[in-house]
Amino acid sequence: MATARRKAGGLDASSYGSWYAALVDLSLRMGGLGWRNVLCDTAFVASPHEGRPADGDMDALATRWPAWHARLANFLMHDPLRAQRDQLAQLLADLPPPDPQRRLFDA
């Protein structure tokens, strides 16, 4: 992966305001070099604060990758794991908020 990432030019954090968009861009560049994006149906990463583009990121991605929005929309309309994602998102939403005081003592 490190070699593929280097060949693709690495993460372009200066063009985007979020990790989300920078990782999408890296993924698309790696795809252009012949690498594949693979959906792993046995793993899921859920975080309420990850995966959100910053203001302007979607426009920047659309400018650099004009076909990406259509590809994303097509995937989302046919997402084979949508039910599982929805279930996990609901479980995450049902969790109680973290105790802010606990962070003071866990360091």
Map residue 22 onto helix, strand or coil: helix
Taking only the tens place, the pLDDT of each residue in 31-74 is 999 998 887 777 777 666 667 899 999 999 999 999 999 988 99
pTM to 2 decimals? 0.70
> pLDDT tens-digit profile of 6-18?
888 888 989 999 9
Q: Check residue 10 and give left, alpha or beta (phi > 0: left; psi -120 to 50: alpha).
A: left
Closest CA to 56 of 28, 17, 11, 13: 17
